[in-house]
Structure 1
Amino acid sequence: MKKLLLAILVLALGFSAPLQAAEKEPIKIGALFALSGPAAFIGTPTKLVAEMAVAEINKQGGINGRPIKLIMADTEGDPTKAVMAVKRLIEVEKVVALIGPTRTGTGMAIKPIVERARVPIVMTVGGDPVIMEGGRFGTARFIFKAPQRSSTAVKKIYIYLKEKGLKRVAILTASDGFGQDGRRWLKKLAPEFGLTIVGEESFNPTDTDMSGQLRRLMAKNPQVIICWTIGPAGANVAKDVKRLGIKVPLFQCHGLPDPKYIELAGPAAEGNLMPSTKLMAWEQLPDSDPQKPVIARFVYLYKEVYKLDKKFPINTHSGYAWDAVNLLVLAMKKAGPDREGIRDALEKINGYVGVSGIYRLSPKDHCGLDVDSMIIVKIENGKWKLEAY
């Protein structure tokens, strides 16, 4: 009898040890960000936020008892290098899901690869094409994104302009994928809000002088100028507007609410308007806003616990990776580390309160954010003021 019990115990221990090890085996999530190159000022802090989110989730037990392991890759903001990076993450590292990248152009470069490999990804790019389907956009069954669509940001601006009675609009857009995505929506949605595009100009994102384009636009007698770009180019536009003595309001896009913009533009930033996540003026939100406590906790972790603010002050991009990671985790808790299951579970998320908005995903909407997730901010005395809720 004793020998029988001993044999049973040995068998039990022999089987349970591998099972326990399997339960604790990390779940790999790939992360692609521009950690060097022209978009590193966005990509590097986004990486740190992703690591912060994973650390907090692992403290709480991970995904059904299994920790998350982030596998990082640097796209350098370059589409070709992004393709190489995503192939390594999928084929060599065998990640079950992905977050990133930083720029719309790199997102579009990896889109067909991710689709063919059937790996779910929550992107952290601003442009709409990554989740658009049909024709040259291809398919987007496995592709989701955490930031608001460009079209949503355009609608938020146009709602504000309509309320202010401003109807004549001039647009100045970057020639890259993000800028042209904004241009597409600015032109397409204007009639819906009773607005007229009286002039349009473009520039290269590396240009430093847009005064010629601005003079041509002002000859059309606009009531407002809307600029669509990210990075230093936006600040250069603001400085040219001030230098030329242009008095009509300058709107920037949803990619520019960032202390760096105020630093680069200097006094020219004063009075500039832009759509933003609620993160940039969260303390000015009404207490009834369900995002306010969520953002308050995020800000506390970012500043006080992980002390990221010392090197990278909070900007509108800061919450995207947090939301991307948490959306994946919600799906994985339902589906486990199964790629198809994660994709299906993501489409069913309805009501996740994130830093960037309240997500209501569906088979027809792989972003899930509407205009109620955004505010209009105005720069006054070098600070962010809630201009329109």
Structure 2
Amino acid sequence: MRLAKAIAVAAAVVLGAGACASAGVIPDNEIVIGLDEDSTGPGASYSTIAGKTVRLSVDLINQAGGINGKPVRLVVENDESSPTKTPSIIRKLVDQGASAVILATGSGSVLQAKSILEQSKIPAIAPVVLSDAFASPPGNDYSFMIPNSLKQYAEVYCGAFEKLGYRSLGILGDASASIDGIIKTLRPALEKCATVTAVEKAPVDAADLTAQVSRLAETKPDAILVASIGGHFEILAHNTLSKIVPETQRFSLASIGNQPASWALADPKALSGMVYMGSLSADNARTAELTEKVRAVKGADYQLTAYDAQSYDAVMMLAKAIEIAGDHQDRTAVRDALQQVSGLPSSFGQDDLTLSFSPGDHLAPDSLCGLVLIEFGDDNKPAHPWDSYQPPCG
């Protein structure tokens, strides 16, 4: 009896050791890509858009024969845009054998991921994050991002302010960790061209913004910037601003332009004249091509967003890197290959935009051509590029 128990214990130990040894092993016969997708947290309104297109992009790659003749499998985890959960989520993806990770989650979570990416030596691409800090030193050896950065946003806003003579700016933001980080990055850059008269914040689920907007109006800014993750807060902000300060020019970040479901929630003409930072241009043939691919899956009436285009490009850049590396089981080799991907024609931005990475630059856009200021029309839908100003391309 004792001998039988000893054998059973020994077998359990061996099996346990084998299970631990297999954790994190990168398979040879398939390529695993990890996706951290906030599907239930505060960033879900945009992360799920990105996540669906990441899945679509992987399907398209597999339909074309995979990468280097090997199929691609996506493994998905959810950190709910909670920075405290992000490290464990990255570890889970590593344990599932991912060669690289795509981070479709909030800015705070993406920034929290940097250190664990370094420790795990696994490259990650953020397709929708705007914070320059993710792709910038220190600790950015494995961190890459697709969109134009917040500092480049500030360049474009300042170009518009200077042309139109705006010298003061009020900021209305939600109190999420992501937007807090965005405002902290944007404000110093914006203060180089305009005086920030006040920054008013409220919870993401606020039911009334009258007090915040009224205080902002008392500072009499030439323009107002709404900084939010979109959704309910963004619409409430513009509904309130359109009533209290109807003549003040309003600007916004990218979120509202990429959330068509939210537009119908706005009061009549509440979004009219508001200008947001867009990333899609009707002149980009690749955007039109991607639209057809996405509509084949998401429906004929689906309106492409920048989140779709940037997520698609993230997967394509990663696929190119794995192809260059040749060995998807070597995560550092995949990172090194990402730094060799250059001149990839972009699916977002103006037609001339290309995307590149290098050892000294982990921000993909090669110019400001990835940004387009878009004005909303009276029907509360994006109408056309803003006539008053557009960023220089080149």
Q: Give TM class, smaller chain.
A: 0.7 to 0.9
Q: Which amino acid aligns with 2:277?
A: P
Q: In the alignment, is residue 323 of structure 1 matched against residue 313 of structure 2?
A: yes
Q: Partners in 1 of 2:32 and 2:261 — Cα distance?
A: 33
Give the letter for the 1:269 counterpart: L
Letter in 2 for 1:228: A
Residue 333 (structure 1) aligned to one of 300, 323, 342: 323
Question: Unaligned stretches of 5+ in structure 1?
Answer: 1-21, 286-291
- In the other structure, the counterpart of 2:356 is 360
- After TM superposition, the score normalised by the length of structure 1 is 0.83
Counterparts of 1:242-321 in structure 2, within 5 Å, are 242-257=242-257, 258-267=259-268, 268-278=270-280, 282-283=281-282, 285=283, 292-303=284-295, 305-308=296-299, 313-321=303-311
Identity percentage of aligned residues: 22
Distance 1:383 1:298 in 2: 21
Q: How far is 1:23 from its partner?
A: 11
Name which of structure 1's ranges 241-250 and 75-84 shifts more when overlaid on structure 2. 75-84
- Which deviates more, 172-181 or 154-163? 172-181
- The answer to whether the 8 A contact 1:24-1:67 is kept is no
Matches within 5 A, 1:64-75: 64-75=68-79
Per-residue CA deviations over 1:42-94 (Å, capped at 9, x if unaligned) read: 22232221111111112222211112111111223333443332211102x11
User: Hey, what does 1:29 align to over in structure 2?
Assistant: 33
CA contact (8 A) 2:213 2:241 kept: yes
Contact 1:152 1:371 in 2 (8 A): yes
Aligned partner of 1:378 in structure 2 is: 375
What is the one-letter code of the residue matched to 2:332? E
Q: In the alignment, which residue of structure 2 is the partner of 1:106?
A: 109
- Tell me the distance in 2 between the aligned counterparts of 1:309 and 1:372: 28
Kindly indicate whether the alpha-carbon contact (under 8 Å) linking 1:252 and 1:274 is maintained by their aligned counterparts in 2: yes
CA contact (8 A) 1:147 1:356 kept: no
The 3-state SS of whatever aligns with 1:251 is strand
Root-mean-square deviation over aligned CA pairs: 2.2
Paired residues of 1:53 and 1:325 also in contact (CA < 8 A)? yes
The structure with the greater share of residues assigned to helix is 1
SS at match of 1:325: helix
**In the alignment, is the contact (CA less than 8 A) between 1:103 and 1:126 conserved in 2?**
no
Superposition deviation, residue 318 in structure 1: 1.8
Residue identity opposite 1:130 in structure 2: F
Gap runs ≥5 in structure 2: 1-25
Shift in alpha-carbon separation, 1:41–1:179, aligned structure 2, 3 A: closer
Alpha carbons 1:255, 1:317 under 8 Å: kept: no
Question: What letter corresponds to residue 362 of structure 1 in structure 2?
Answer: S
Q: Offset at 1:188?
A: 1.7
Amino acid of the structure 1 residue aligned with 2:147: P
In the alignment, does 2:119 pair up with 1:116? Answer: yes
Q: Does the 8 A contact of 1:179 with 1:229 survive in 2?
A: yes
More displaced stretch, 213-222 vs 372-381: 213-222
> In structure 1, what is the Cα distance between the partners aligned to 2:248 and 2:134?
33
SS at match of 1:100: strand
Partner of 1:149: 149
Paired residues of 2:107 and 2:181 also in contact (CA < 8 A) = no
1:230 to partner: Cα distance:
1.0
- 1:120 is aligned with what amino acid? P
What's the CA shift for 1:218? 1.7
Once the 2 structures are TM-superposed, how far is the Cα of residue 165 of structure 1 from its aligned partner?
A: 1.9
In the alignment, the residues of structure 1 paired with residue 54 and residue 267 of structure 2 have an alpha-carbon distance, to the nearest angstrom, of 30
**What is aligned with 2:5?**
none
Partner AA of 1:378 in structure 2: E
